[in-house]
Amino acid sequence: MENKKNTISACLVVYNEEKVIEKCLASIKNLVDEIIVVHDGECNDNTLEIAKKYTDKIFVREHAGIMEAHLVFAYEQTSSEWILRIDADEYFDEVNLPKIKDSINNENINLYKFKWEMWNGFKSVYFNGLSKECLFRKKDYHFCGIPHSSGWSDGEKGNLDIFLHHRPAYNNIVWTSFFKKMKKWVPIHAKYFFSDLVNYDCFQVDNDVWKLKTEKIKKYLFFYIIFEPFKNFVGQIKNGLWKSWTGFNIALQQYVYYTVLYWKVWKIKKRKK
pLDDT at site 70: 98
Kindly tell me if the per-residue pLDDT of 1 is higher than 70: no
Which residues, including other chains, have CB under 8 Å from residue 201's CB and lie 6 or more apart? 72, 73, 144, 145, 207
Confidence band for 260, pLDDT divided at 50, 70 and 90: very high
Confidence band for 273, pLDDT divided at 50, 70 and 90: confident
pLDDT at site 247: 78
pLDDT at site 118: 87
Instruction: Identify which has the larger pLDDT, 203 or 2.
Output: 203
Q: Over range 85-109, report the average pLDDT.
A: 97
pLDDT at site 212: 94
Kindly tell me if the per-residue pLDDT of 29 is higher than 90: yes
pLDDT at site 241: 67
Q: What global pTM score does this model have?
A: 0.93
Per-residue model confidence as pLDDT tens digits over 38-56? 999 999 999 999 999 999 9
Per-residue model confidence as pLDDT tens digits over 153-195? 999 999 999 999 999 999 988 999 999 999 999 999 999 999 9
Rounded distance between C-alpha atoms, residue 7 and residue 19, angstroms: 28
Which domains does the chain possess?
A: 4-166 (3.90.550.10), 175-272 (no CATH)
Per-residue model confidence as pLDDT tens digits over 120-158? 888 888 877 789 999 999 999 999 999 999 899 999 999
HEC assignment per residue over the chain: CCCEEEEEEEEEEECCCCCCHHHHHHHHCCCCCEEEEEEECCCCCCHHHHHCCCCCCEEEECCCCCCHHHHHHHHHCCCEEEEEECCCCEECCHHHHHHHHHHCCCCCEEEEEEEECEECCCCEECCCCCEEEEEEEHHHEEEECCCCCCCEECCEEEEEEEEEEECCCCCCCCHHHHHHHHHHHHHHHHHCCCCCCCCCCEECCCCHHHHHHHHHHHHCHHHHHHHHHHHHHHHHHHCCHHHCHHHHHHHHHHHHHHHHHHHHHHHHHHHHC
Ranking 29-43, 61-75, 98-112, 233-247 by mean pLDDT, the lowest is: 233-247
Rounded distance between C-alpha atoms, residue 242 and residue 138, angstroms: 33
Kindly tell me if the per-residue pLDDT of 198 is higher than 60: yes
Rounded distance between C-alpha atoms, residue 257 and residue 173, angstroms: 14
Contact 14, 47 (CB under 8 A): yes
In this structure, which amino acid lies at residue 269?
K
Rounded distance between C-alpha atoms, residue 151 and residue 221, angstroms: 24
